[in-house]
Amino acid sequence: MKQLIDFFKDHPTLARLIFFGTIGGVVIWSLTTDTSHGHSWVEKHIPAFWSIFGFISCLVLIFFARWFSDSGIRKGDDYYGD
């Protein structure tokens, strides 16, 4: 495991190539998938719908979480006197 991680650390371009290549491969495969089994209209008619949905979902969660944290719910580490 350590060797594998070190290998990718030493070859960042290769790591990125595999990473983006996999994402591209998934998108291309999704375009060839039969979407008639989708549950809703958007799934059936928007190409690579779940890619867009997944990405937007993460953005919503990340930025909402950050806003929520900065809105005053984050207090000092020993707030409760632990």
Partner 1 sequence: MATDCFFHPSLILIAGALVLPLIRGPFLKPYLFLIPLLTFGQVVYLSFSPGIYGQVSFMEWSLTFGRIDNLSIIFSIIMGLMAIIGTLYGLHVKNCWQHFAAWFYVAGSIGAIYSGDYLSLFLFWEIMAFSSTFLIWFNRKDTDSQAAGFRYLLVHTFGGLLLLMGFVLRYQATGSIEFNLLDYENAQIYTWLIMSGLMLNAAVIPLHSWLPDAYSKATITGSVFMCAFTTKTAVYTLARSCAGFDILIYLGVGMAVIGIIYALLENDIRRLLGWEIISQVGYMVAGVGIGSALAINGAAAHAFAHILYKGLLFMGAGAVIYCTGRSKLSELGGLHTNLPIILVFMVIGGISVSAFPFFSGFVSKSMIIAASFKAHFNSVAFLLTMVSAGTFLVAGLRLPALIFFGEQKSDFTDALPESKIPWNMLLAMTIASLLCFAIGTYYPILYSLLPYQDISYQPYNQYHLSETLQILAFTALAFFLFHKKLTAVAGTYLDIDWLYRKGGTIFQWLAEHPVQWFDTLWGKVYRVVGLYSLMTTAKFWSWFDWHGIDGLIDGSARGVKQFGTVIAKALQRGQIQYTISFTITFVALILLAFIWL
CB of 65 to partner 1, least distance (A): 4
C-alpha 70/C-alpha 63 separation (Å) is: 11
CB of 41 to partner 1, least distance (A): 10
Footprint of partner 1 (CB under 8 A): 1-2, 5, 19, 22-23, 26-27, 29-30, 33-35, 37-40, 43, 48, 50-55, 57-66, 68-69, 72-80, 82
CB of 47 to partner 1, least distance (A): 11
Q: Is 15 exposed, middle or buried (0-12, 13-18, 19+ CB in 10 A)?
A: middle
Answer yes or no: are the C-beta atoms of 29 and 21 closer than 8 Å. no
